[in-house]
Structures are given as structure tokens and as C-alpha cells.
Chains A and B, each alone.
Chain A
Amino acid sequence: MNPPFLDLEPWHYRAFITICTGLAFVHAHRKLSPYFAATWFGAAGVMSFIWMTGTSPPESFLLPGLVIYMAAAVTKGIVETRDGVRGNHFVHVVMTGLFTGLLVLPFEAVARAMTWNLPLASPGMILGIPELGGVPSGSIAMWMVVGFLFYGTYKVLDHIGLSPALQAVVLFAATPFLARALWFVQGSF
């Protein structure tokens, strides 16, 4: 039997996701800029809120921004040390999407095992693969699409010559369309 303080409850998971998001925000703030941190986590939160139609608990809204940020940071660390693909934005976006689906697995597996809240409904399987560690393959693919679309949009806006202020406005304005795209993709799995 566990000591009482180690019996996990939903609010522990909520606190965990919130603290991790705070740490990711600090990383973005120090390593990139306060402006980047605010626009990234702000736009990701708005996208999640619209995507989940405002009905999910707080940790579900925070999870996409956190996981995509982790995936982008890990991608940068890995890709930027390979001479062949250094500075290749397309590779960056594709790898971030892929890594989003992989890095979310522990969070999703834990939430499913403990019957805690998940940001996504449970999509079916794709490519005949049923699941990995209790997470359906359709859900993993869905997360990859989320990472690809959000980071892809961010990258495009970052490289078409918009001023930082206009870039932030367009990024936030794009969030309803991203949510719509996610509903469409979600419905096709």
C-alpha cells in the first residue's frame, strides 16, 4: 500500500502539467524571448480551448502547448547538430510533429491508466497498429498532426517577413482555423 501522500489524484496530474508548462515557459523566456514565450503558449492555449470547445479541464488546455514546445526543443537539439539538415525548416517542422506524438505518450498513457482527463477523444487505430502502452495508434497520429500544424503555422509566419506584432496577431487569428483543421483530421481517423 502506498503512503497517503503518494496516492495520486487528478489534481496532482493538473499540478504536474501546470508546473511543467511553467518550466517550459521559463525556458522559452530565457532562451528565446519573453515575446516568443507569451505568443507560443498563448496561441497554443487559445487553439486548445477552441479545439476542445472549452469543455475540457485546465490541464488538457495546457498539454498541447507544453508537448509541442518539448518536441520543438528536442528537435532543435537533435536536428541542429546534423550537418545535412541544419537550418532546414521543413525537416524541423516534420520532426517536431513526429516527436510530439512520441513525447506525449507518457502523459497520455498515465492519464488513460488513471482515468484522468484527456484532451482528445479516443480515436481508433491506424496502419493496423492497435496501441502502444495503452495509447491507441490513432491518438498518437492525431498528436503528430497537432504538432505539425501548430509548429508549421508558427514557422511559416516567422519566415514570411511579417513584423513581430503582426506575426502574433496572425498567429492568434489562425487558431480557430487550426482547431477546425484538427476537428477535420480527428474525424477522419
Chain B
Amino acid sequence: MLDRFVDRLPSFLVFMSLALLGYVAIDEVERPELLLAGVPSAVLFVIYLLSGRSR
């Protein structure tokens, strides 16, 4: 269980950074254009998940 969590930590960290950005951009400062900063990370996140190394 712990090992499976540790294996997924890099994806979890990227996801957490995107979640923080989403919360701040939409709810905290209400500037949705800031979400653009998350696009490259989101693309990398998807490529990383598809590559299968995150498992």
C-alpha cells in the first residue's frame, strides 16, 4: 500500500501543484487566465501517466 503510494508520488506532486493553481486562479484571485500557467504541467502530467512509469 505504502509502496504503491510512493510509486505515484511524482504524479501526485504535479497534480497537487495544478490543484493549488486551480484553486488560487479561480477562487482566490478570480483570474482564470492564470490557468494557462498550468497547461504545460498538465500536458507533462498526461504524457507521464501514459508512459506507464508512474505505476
Contact = CB atoms under 8 A, between A and B. Distances in A.
B24 A110 contact: yes
Given A109-B21, A134-B34, A26 B9 contact: yes
- SS class, residues of chain A in contact with chain B: helix
A78 interface: yes
Interface in B2-55: 3, 6-7, 9-10, 12-14, 16-18, 20-21, 23-25, 27-29, 31, 33-41, 44, 47-48, 51-54
A186 B18 CA distance: 27
A59 interface: no
Contact of A27 (B9, B40, B41): B9
A70 B14 contact: yes
Given A30-B3, A106-B37, A109-B37, A76 B53 contact: yes
Interface residues of A, number: 36
A107 B14 CA distance: 10
B20 A132 contact: no
Contacts of B18: 106
A105 B37 contact: yes
A77 B13 CA distance: 14
A83 B28 CA distance: 44
A106 to B, nearest CB: 4
5 contacts: A20-B17, A23-B9, A23-B13, A74-B44, A103-B14
**Interchain residue pairs A-B with the least CB separation, the first 5:** A133-B37, A77-B53, A109-B37, A73-B10, A106-B21
Given A6-B27, A8-B23, A26-B6, 16 more contacts: A16-B20, A27-B6, A66-B13, A74-B48, A78-B47, A81-B51, A103-B17, A103-B44, A105-B38, A106-B20, A106-B37, A109-B24, A113-B25, A132-B36, A132-B37, A134-B33
